[in-house]
Structure 1
Amino acid sequence: MKFDGFETRAIHAGQEPDAGTGAVVVPIYQTSTYAQDGVGGLRQGYEYSRTANPTRTALEECLAALESGARGLAFASGMAAEDTLLRTVLSPGDHIIIPGDAYGGTFRLISKVVERWGVSWDAVDQTDVEAVRAAMRPETKVVWTETPTNPLLGITDIETVARIAHDGGALHVVDNTFASPYLQQPLTLGADVVVHSTTKYVGGHSDVVGGALIVADAELGERLAFHQNTMGAVAGPFDAWLTLRGVKTLGVRMDRHSENAERVVAALEGHPAVRRVYYPGLDSHPGHKIAERQMRAFGGMVSFELRDGEKAALELCERTKVFTLGESLGGVESLIEHPGRMTHASTAGSALEVPADLVRISVGIESGDDLVADLEQALEG
């Protein structure tokens, strides 16, 4: 019998009880090598844990099921996943399109590393699909989308941009970290590859660093698996186990993240110290209708600008009590940060530089009343 419910897949996909012991939870196979049944006789396909490990396999199968993909691959970090993907699908002379407010780490990888291979790139506001179409070149091989974007929460029409990319012979890659597979499944909308920093919502507890690629095409999955093994930046068994544990509660966590974020947004919208709130759940958000169509809910990430500028933003980040000042996002605890000085410092002086008065918050699953009260006291100074 096939079960289609997301929460059921999150708990059971790739996670059958252990055949030998009946253990309900996938064991941590903390081993580097495996006994073989004769020379070249692999036992259940395992020989060396860089190539494959049963705990990592369980995570990869689960992620593929959650994103409705043909294959999932787990890495040591989100950046390791991105690096492996780009080295697999790009060659010198190729061109890539990235978002106009791409994540700082992605921007750094492409502008400081990938460009040195002879790959050119353009940053484009992908909330305008015609701007994406205009940026396409004969040598464009990848259109890289974040939706929602980090940190300005821009929304891209995945279906339309996927068609534009395919019409130009390019792959459409979607960083789905902010939404998670629970809120959005880009492969079902036409994308070719989904990228996750599993450190964030998928793991969900701020206790593990990891990344993942999920692909629609099995042949591309084979190519990526070859490079994953060759380059070696794989998820270790304990990291895979922690991530798999987090996946089990992804659905219920994302519901609470989204509910709390909506309460926080309502409080920020009416506060005189706040100049602008970025959240796709707002009717006033330019991408609201698209987000409503391609997302189950609007997520736990909120950004806002303060009327009194950068100094006020920096002071706010230091006055919160429940919101912890720190980088990253997607954990059960609420975090606050100043993108211009922290996660997006690498974009300073570039076309992707973020507003100096911008604050980004990752709304956790604490009491919504406490989160609102904490922001209000911090805004009052």
Structure 2
Amino acid sequence: MKNALSGLGARSRSPVKLSRAELVTTRLPEGEDCPLIVEPRVEGLDLVTWAREHRDWVEAELARVGGLMLRGFRMEGVDGFADFVRATCGEPLTYTERSSPREVVKDQVYTSTSHPSDQEIFPHTEQSYNLTFPQRIYFHCVTAPTVAGATPITSTRRILRELPRELVQRFVTRGYRYVRNFGDGLGLSWQEAFQTQDPAEVERYCRGSEIDFQWLGQGRLRTSQRRPCVARHPTTGELVWFNHATFFHVSTLPEDVTTQLRALYAEDALPNNTFYGDGAPIEPEVLERLRAAYRDGRVAVPWQAGDVLLLDNLLMAHGRQPFKGERKVVVAMADPRRWADVVFEGPLPD
């Protein structure tokens, strides 16, 4: 017997408008407050059509919870995923000022970060080091791994609440500085990071993006940019911990990798490293406290093929578990925001 809702979204002689509650169920992972898992009540519910018709609800829940896991919907592969981005936000964004290797799949949908499968990717907020960054990031599981490989998320509101007030105020006042070195054979080349072969184009980008740059000879480039650490969410007005100060610090890498890199390079010559905004080193105990705040609040929902995870990039950091088996997760970004519009300069409220 054909399901009465199997043709939802297509033409019908007698269209029936059903409420959101009649079409989907929602639940939270046991013992957690995110992400909100949204599942259709009936087989064959088209994700793009449903999202377009319930966009206001999606936006409200995303601001409230920070992340939505959409599971069990019908969606037409990568094309449908790109259409879902458009239905909920607008055109997917181009990946600029790159810090990790990705390949375009289609329509500004990218492969997830290439990284050895036996290593984790530490939680981070996407492109918070850019002057313009995406407020939304989307993930779609094409092929689920055999073991682990989830995309853990961490609330940046929770991180901010759990960090000592004095520590947060220190970073509000001083910001942090991100230093990159290109051309030594480790990490991305400047050509890949800036998507150009022209040094003059790199210089134009840096000048327009408040990035100091220095050519060191033999194709080597050093960049340095001071960025804020705390933002005010444009919809909720809440303060959030939004930066790459922890993620890009050399000590956040596996211990053996950190030791090898520090044996080869000075602190300001490492492929990636961070400092306080004035260039002073960040104390080891501070970095340990920051890493603990990211890790303590992680929530990981195992991937199922066809899943779509939508995150508010200001409200949720994301990472990746190690995994076994084939894993294919594609990524899109949308809703550009400027640091100038969300930066919090303090002092912190009582």
Q: Please give the range of the TM-score, normalised by the shorter of the 2 chains.
A: under 0.3
Q: TM-score normalised to the size of structure 1?
A: 0.26
Comparing both structures, which one devotes a greater share of its residues to helix? 1
Comparing both structures, which one devotes a greater share of its residues to strand? 2
